[in-house]
């Protein structure tokens, strides 16, 4: 899906709601109706009046040169659709654009409408409407419809997911919100679940079609030869041979009038399956967002580990320089210098390892986004972002939120409803069905006989009947179908119980992991401060000959370990905050986050 929605940044890092880059401004006008981007439009009195009435978007669309609805341009690696030549504005949201059109067309005074200073023809205005519609459709995959299974399912029935991998700009630093938006558009997993939702929507259409009559057209061209018995006084042989060529175009009707709720149960089951498919789409998008967030923070960790390794290398080089300086002054021995050089070589080795891990993390992130796996990606690591500080909800409130919001639980509850509808359909098989059938035809025949003369005819013929079909015995088919349907209902209920237990466990795990990450981060900050002070003091004492090189190397190793611990603790804290939102079903939703960020005064 490509929803243009608000991502709860408290879960994803920034201290505000972040709108993904695919979102569009609602109107590209200033307060006077003039276009802010692209070529300037003179704000005439009529245009200002139309802008105040909500028609400014259409006027601007009519004023610009006409071109293709989508130029296929990309900005920062994301395909920006709905942008014509000469227009740098991204266009309006589909819903807002059509609401503006509806308000104007319904409230317009046709007699007083005079575009004296700018007078486009109604054909131009109609083309403007088409351009607005094209820009609205270009958003693809249901912008803003991620929280409701019904909205997602309805959208899946009419939209088609985008094909092809994402194209990344190797020079643009991508934020986490941008990467999630790209993944929802281009990851193969989202396209797969999207197609399943489309199939369930079509299956609902199949179920509803049972309420309509079935009309069939049939044309028969034939020749029939048969024996027609006749008394011997009339026919010497006691029979005559008759040959009947015929042409019979016919229309037949079959209409199931009443079936004691079987069709209704089928429609209810299909509706529940369609909604469950919509919930599955939400679940896949949330899982994908969490996967991208995990890969993002793993890359952030790898980058900070690389930075820590480089700092450790500089520290080791400083220690080596101090040892060599003391050796040159006759205050140190050669083994001390060799030991310092070994530590420098080890730090260089660790730096190369960290550099390789950082490139591998880049490849993992590009794969999660849906682009061709490669290390050619730049991210905005948001190192100045405030850290999560505390929880805003108790564990009981978090579990209650998860029970209400987790799409897996929604989907399983809907599958229970589908299974119950299947039981009703199986019970309806024991009841009769009332069927109306009929046919209308134009029958033309040219019979011939070997005895006597027969006349030809071409006349309309018809038939109509109301029948009751009641299956009396079927060898246990209906009984077994009912038992299977009841078993499926119990199976779905047991799966829901297991899902609820798993959800409770995952919420508890995320809750405890976040609290642990908070304490680990605080400990890591204190450890880094003390290790840094210890190394500085040891190095200074070594320079004055108070301590030996072994003490300096030990302090250096402690400082390197403290740097890595600090890096891991910071990224782990962000990731556990995202995991808590994911476990409670609040990822990619606009509900209040479960964590509170540091205030600007507390943020370092």
* pLDDT tens profile 543-597: 888 888 888 888 888 888 898 888 889 888 989 999 999 999 988 887 888 998 8
Helix intervals (H) in 433-548: 477-543
Q: Verify that 55 and 134 share a domain, yes or no.
A: yes
Q: Verify that 507 and 372 share a domain, yes or no.
A: yes
User: Does some domain include residue 440?
Assistant: yes
User: Does some domain include residue 11?
Assistant: no
Q: Verify that 465 and 554 share a domain, yes or no.
A: no
Q: 492, 517, 536: which is the final residue of a domain?
A: 492
Q: Verify that 28 and 46 share a domain, yes or no.
A: yes
Q: Verify that 294 and 386 share a domain, yes or no.
A: yes
CATH of the domain at 435: 2.20.200.10
Q: What single string gives the DSSP state of each residue in 549-585?
A: HHHHHHHHHHHHHHHHHHHHHHHHHHHHHHHHHHHTT
Residue 513, helix vs strand vs coil: helix
* pLDDT tens profile 266-278: 999 999 999 999 9
Q: What single string gives the DSSP state of each residue in 381-445?
A: --TTSPPEEEESS-HHHHHHHHHHH-HHHHHHHHHHHHHHHHHHHHHHTTS-EEEEEEEEEEEEE
CATH of the domain at 285: 1.20.1600.10
> How much is the pLDDT for 205?
92
Q: Verify that 360 and 226 share a domain, yes or no.
A: no
Q: Verify that 316 and 405 share a domain, yes or no.
A: yes
Q: 476, 492, 508: which is the final residue of a domain?
A: 492
Q: Verify that 305 and 287 share a domain, yes or no.
A: yes
Q: Verify that 373 and 478 share a domain, yes or no.
A: no
> Within 10 A of 68 (CB to CB), how many other CB atoms are there?
11
Helix-strand-coil percent breakdown of the chain, rounded to 5? 55, 15, 30
pTM for this model (two decimals): 0.67
User: Does some domain include residue 305?
Assistant: yes
Structural contact between residues 181 and 1, judged by C-beta atoms closer than 8 angstroms: no
> How much is the pLDDT for 602?
59
Instruction: Single out the residue of 281, 261, 30 nearest to residue 150, CA to CA.
Output: 281
Burial of 129 (0-12, 13-18, 19+ CB in 10 A): middle
End-to-end CA distance of the chain: 37
Q: How far apart are CA 189 and CA 209, in angstroms?
A: 31
User: Does some domain include residue 603?
Assistant: no
Query: What is the domain extent for residue 485?
Result: 212-264+426-492
> How much is the pLDDT for 111?
37
Total structural domains within the chain: 3
User: Does some domain include residue 152?
Assistant: no
Q: Verify that 275 and 335 share a domain, yes or no.
A: yes
Q: Verify that 286 and 354 share a domain, yes or no.
A: yes
> How much is the pLDDT for 601?
61
User: Does some domain include residue 253?
Assistant: yes
Handedness of CA 531, 533, 535, 537 (dihedral sign): negative
Segments in the chain below pLDDT 50? 1-141, 143-145
Q: 107, 138, 169: which is the final residue of a domain?
A: 138
User: Does some domain include residue 282?
Assistant: yes
User: Does some domain include residue 68?
Assistant: yes
């Amino acid at each position: 899906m490509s929803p243009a929605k608000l991502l709860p940044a408290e879960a994803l890092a920034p201290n505000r709601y972040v709108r993904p880059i695919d979102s569009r401004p609602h109107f590209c006008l200033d307060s006077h109706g003039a276009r802010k981007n692209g070529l300037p439009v003179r704000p005439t009195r009529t245009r200002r009046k139309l802008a105040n009435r909500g028609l400014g978007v259409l006027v601007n669309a009519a004023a610009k040169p006409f071109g293709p609805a989508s130029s296929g341009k990309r900005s920062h690696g994301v395909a920006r659709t709905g942008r014509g030549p000469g227009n740098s504005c991204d266009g309006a949201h589909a819903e807002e654009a059509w609401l503006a059109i509806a308000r104007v067309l319904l409230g317009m005074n046709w007699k007083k409408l005079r575009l004296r200073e700018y007078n486009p023809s109604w054909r131009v205005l109609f083309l403007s409407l088409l351009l607005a519609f094209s820009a609205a459709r270009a958003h693809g995959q249901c912008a803003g419809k991620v929280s409701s299974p019904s909205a997602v399912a309805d959208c899946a029935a009419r939209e088609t997911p985008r094909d092809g991998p994402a194209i990344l700009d190797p020079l643009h630093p991508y934020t986490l919100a941008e990467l999630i938006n790209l993944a929802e558009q281009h990851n193969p997993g989202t396209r797969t679940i999207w197609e399943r939702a489309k199939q369930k929507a079509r299956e609902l259409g199949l179920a509803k079609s049972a309420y309509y009559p079935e009309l069939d057209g049939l044309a028969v061209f034939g020749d029939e030869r048969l024996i027609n018995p006749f008394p011997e006084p009339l026919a010497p042989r006691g029979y005559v041979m008759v040959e009947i060529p015929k042409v019979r175009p016919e229309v037949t009707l079959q209409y199931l009038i009443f079936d004691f709720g079987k069709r209704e149960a089928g429609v209810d089951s299909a509706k529940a399956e369609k909604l469950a498919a919509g919930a599955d789409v939400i679940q896949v998008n949330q899982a994908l967002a969490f996967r991208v967030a995990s890969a993002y923070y793993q890359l952030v960790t790898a980058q900070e580990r690389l930075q820590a390794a480089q700092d450790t290398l500089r520290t080791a080089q400083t220690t080596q320089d101090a040892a060599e300086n003391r050796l040159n002054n006759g205050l140190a021995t050669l083994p001390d210098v060799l030991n310092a050089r070994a530590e420098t070589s080890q730090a260089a080795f660790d730096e190369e390892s960290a550099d390789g891990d950082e490139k591998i993390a880049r490849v993992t992130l590009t794969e999660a986004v849906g682009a061709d796996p490669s290390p050619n990606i730049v991210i905005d690591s948001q190192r100045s972002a405030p850290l999560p500080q505390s929880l805003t909800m108790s564990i009981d409130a978090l579990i209650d939120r998860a029970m209400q919001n987790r799409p897996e639980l929604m989907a399983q509850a809907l599958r229970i409803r589908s299974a119950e509808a299947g039981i009703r359909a199986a019970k309806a098989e024991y009841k009769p069905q009332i069927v109306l059938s009929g046919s209308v035809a134009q029958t033309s025949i040219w019979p011939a006989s070997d005895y006597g003369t027969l006349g030809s005819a071409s006349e309309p013929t018809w038939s109509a009947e109301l029948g009751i079909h009641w299956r009396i015995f079927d060898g246990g088919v209906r009984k077994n179908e009912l038992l299977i349907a009841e078993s499926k209902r119990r199976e779905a209920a047991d799966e829901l119980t297991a899902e609820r237990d798993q959800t409770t466990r995952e919420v508890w795990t995320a809750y405890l992991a976040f609290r642990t990450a908070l304490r680990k981060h605080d400990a890591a900050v204190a450890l880094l401060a003390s290790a840094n002070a210890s190394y500085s003091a040891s190095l200074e004492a070594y320079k004055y000959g108070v301590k030996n090189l072994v003490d300096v190397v030990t302090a250096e190793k402690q400082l390197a370990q403290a740097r890595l611990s600090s890096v891991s603790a910071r990224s782990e804290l962000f990731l556990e905050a995202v995991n808590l939102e994911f476990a409670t079903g609040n990822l990619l939703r606009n509900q209040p986050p479960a964590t509170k960020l540091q205030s600007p005064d507390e943020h370092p």
